[in-house]
Amino acid sequence: MPEPLLTLSGVHTHIGHYHILQGVDLAAPRGELTMLLGRNGAGKTTTLRTILGLWRASAGGVRFDGQDITRLDTPAIAARGIAYVPESMGIFAGLTVHENLLLAAREGPLRDERLEWIFRFFPPMKKFWDLPAGNLSGGQKQMLAISRAIVEPRKLLLIDEPTKGLAPAIIQNLIAAFAELKKSQTTILMVEQNFHAARSLGDSVAVMDAGRVVHTGRMADLAADEALQTKLLGLSLEAHQ
């Protein structure tokens, strides 16, 4: 088997005096979408932030694309080809849609074909091109946050709860867009609470609890096993809908 694009081994993270991650082992295979599930407070967001160096791992290691990135600072980690869509979306409200994308395109000018590709997923990005991002609706902000992450090809996308707080119709849009994005073989590590989204998009899955990964496997297997869902996630995923 080829080495996964991303591997966390025995990662511990402290935030202040709190010991949040307590030995996380996790892998994101190349070209797959790995779903990271778990109850509220399980440590999913902390895991993504630790990968990016926004929190420092106090023990353990993070390997990305064959190299140890544990000790690198955040800009250096991102520059290796990792894009981040945080839970809060992190868009720049005072910048226009255009300017948000311009900033995300580190390598140079925006490429027309790439933009057309993005506009196909997210037509409002074209429509509101020159509008300050702060004026967008919640769903459009999420679209912008994702567009920003894919405005240039990146090796790995870290996406934290993209459907959180969005209306069902918008969620359907996003799921369709991610399904389309998956065809480009981008490796994605996604945190998701919405079962429908998780099941339809996930290839592999990792479930966290209390700062550890307590289950890994294929998403399809977990989706088919309600008893396991109940055990790992408290409620069955079905009930999350």
Partner 1 sequence: MKSIDWKPPLLVLAVLLGALLLIGSPSTWFTLTVAGVAMGLLIFLMAAGLTLVFGLMDVMNFAHGVFIAVGAYVAVSAMKLASGAAGADSLLVNLGALVPAMLAAALAGGLLGLFFERVIIRPVYGQHLKQILITTGGMIVAEQLIHVLWGPDILQLARPAALKGSFLLGDMALEKFRLSAVVIGLAVFAAMLVLLNRTRIGLLIRAGVENKEMVEAMGYRIRRLFVAVFVAGSALAGLGGALWGMYQESVTVHIGASMMVLIFIVIIIGGLGSVLGCFTGALLVGLVANYIGFLSPKVALGSNILLMVLVLLWRPQGLYAVGK
Say if CB 81 and CB 158 are below 8 A apart. no
Give residues 38-77 in contact with ligand ATP (rule: CB under 6 A): 38, 40-46
Cα distance between residue 239 and residue 230, in whole Å:
10
Q: Which is nearer to Mg ion, 87 or 225 (CB)?
A: 87
Choose which of 92, 117, 119, 129 interacts with partner 1 (CB under 8 A).
92
The listed partner (Mg ion, partner 1, ligand ATP, none) that binds 46, CB under 5 to 8 Å by sort, is: ligand ATP
Choose which of 15, 72, 95, 131 interacts with ligand ATP (CB under 6 A).
15
The listed partner (partner 1, Mg ion, ligand ATP, none) that binds 132, CB under 5 to 8 Å by sort, is: partner 1
3-class secondary structure, 105? coil
Assigned token pair, 90: 């992190």
Q: Is 61 in the site for partner 1 (CB under 8 A)?
A: no
Cα distance between residue 179 and residue 181, in whole Å:
5
Give residues 23-52 in contact with Mg ion (rule: CB under 5 A): 45
Choose which of 10, 134, 165, 234 interacts with partner 1 (CB under 8 A).
134
Q: Which is nearer to Mg ion, 45 or 173 (CB)?
A: 45
Choose which of 39, 58, 87, 95 interacts with partner 1 (CB under 8 A).
95
3-class secondary structure, 113? helix
φ/ψ (deg, to 5) at 230: -60, -40
Cα distance between residue 178 and residue 189, in whole Å:
12
Q: Is 153 in the site for ligand ATP (CB under 6 A)?
A: no
**Which neighbouring-strand residues pair with 34?**
189, 204
Alpha-carbon distance values, 130 to 106, 118, 125, 127, 237 (Å): 20, 16, 9, 8, 40
Choose which of 3, 59, 68, 75 interacts with partner 1 (CB under 8 A).
75
Q: Is 103 in the site for partner 1 (CB under 8 A)?
A: yes
Q: In what order do the strands lie in the sheet with 156-160?
A: 82-85, 156-160, 187-191, 33-38, 204-209, 212-218
Q: Interface with partner 1 by CB under 8 A: which residues?
A: 52, 54, 73-75, 78-79, 83-84, 86, 90, 92-96, 99, 102-104, 106, 130, 132, 134, 148
Q: Interface with ligand ATP by CB under 6 A: which residues?
A: 15-16, 18, 20, 38, 40-46
